[in-house]
Amino acid sequence: MKQRRWRALPHLTPRQRALCTVAEKLTLTPREMTAADWQPLRELGFDDQGLLEVAHLISIFNYFPRMADGFGLKLDPKLREAAATGVPLRRGDALV
């Protein structure tokens, strides 16, 4: 979000772009959110419950890394390799 790389992705749908716009602002400047920021999602069919679910998901994805960073947790090397290469871990791959 900080680097705004999602803006350069040509294949995003209007729905995905609206979600990314909300996620970016809610992540970077949550105190500046207004009803107008949610309006594009409303126009795409989101009701109050849908907006609340979006806000919860964005908030959770902001919460977990902060907790891990705060406690100094590090990714297991095998997970880091899987993330870097795109090769998924297989069932039975032992994590240390």
Where in the chain are the domains?
A: 5-85
Q: What is the mean pLDDT of residues 24-42?
A: 97
Per CATH, the number for 5-85 is 1.20.1290.10
State the Cα–Cα distance between residues 29 and 26, nearest whole angstrom: 6
Q: What is the pLDDT of residues 38-71, one digit of tens each?
A: 999 999 999 999 999 999 999 999 999 899 999 9
User: In the predicted model, is pLDDT for residue 93 greater than 80?
Assistant: no
Question: Cβ(21)–Cβ(38) under 8 Å?
Answer: no
Give me the pLDDT at residue 59, please. Answer: 96
pLDDT band at 82 (very low <50, low <70, confident <90, very high): confident
Average pLDDT, the chain: 91
Question: Cβ(22)–Cβ(58) under 8 Å?
Answer: yes
Q: Is the pTM of this model over 0.85?
A: no
Instruction: Give the Cα-Cα-Cα angle 19, 22, 23 (nearest 5 degrees).
Output: 80
